[in-house]
Amino acid sequence: MTPAIETQRNPVSAFLGGAVIGTLGGLIGLGGAEFRLPLLIGMFRFPALEAVILNKTMSLIVVATALLFRSRAVPFADVAANWPIIVNLLAGSLIGAWMGAAWATRLKSETLYRVIATMLVLIAIILILGHDATVG
């Protein structure tokens, strides 16, 4: 590890980076992971797979707390009342999560960068489409 990378990964920039990402994530109800991942790669210079794994670990912590904070704006009762939707989506997502993780660990680093970039674009498109749908 070079000295340059050491300074780039100092706790202050890690905290600030996390704070900005968390704010974005908290606003929209995401863990902020999709913003954190490119930051881990671009700014903190982690290799693709390591960035993905670090990102995952942080997301776990962040999502758990985000759910708590959002309970002010959206009460737990409202979330719990919609349990059939939650179960419905979980059925597919749990299987997908396992397969996706298995696939990522086998990919070449270069390929993984491309996959990540492509998916970020897809996410952006989906956000815009979702927005149009809600506005009407």
Residues 37-66 binding other proteins (CB under 8 A) are 37-39, 41-42, 44, 46-47, 49-66
Q: Does 130 bind other proteins (CB under 8 A)?
A: yes
Backbone Cα Rg of the chain:
17
We find the least distance from the C-beta atom of residue 91 to other proteins, in angstroms, to be 10
Q: Does 2 bind other proteins (CB under 8 A)?
A: no
Residue 3 or 37 having the CB closest to other proteins: 37
On the 0-12 / 13-18 / 19+ scale of CB atoms within 10 A, 51 is buried
Q: Which of 72, 63, 2 is nearest to 34 (CA)?
A: 63
By CB under 8 A, what part of segment 65-104 binds other proteins?
Answer: 65-67, 69-74, 78-79, 82, 85-86, 89-90, 93-94, 96-104
The owner of tokens 């927005």 is 131
Contact between 48 and 116 under an 8 Å Cβ cutoff? The reply is: yes
Token digits of residue 123: 């996410």
Binding mask 105-124 for other proteins (x = CB under 8 A): x-------xxxxxxxxx-xx
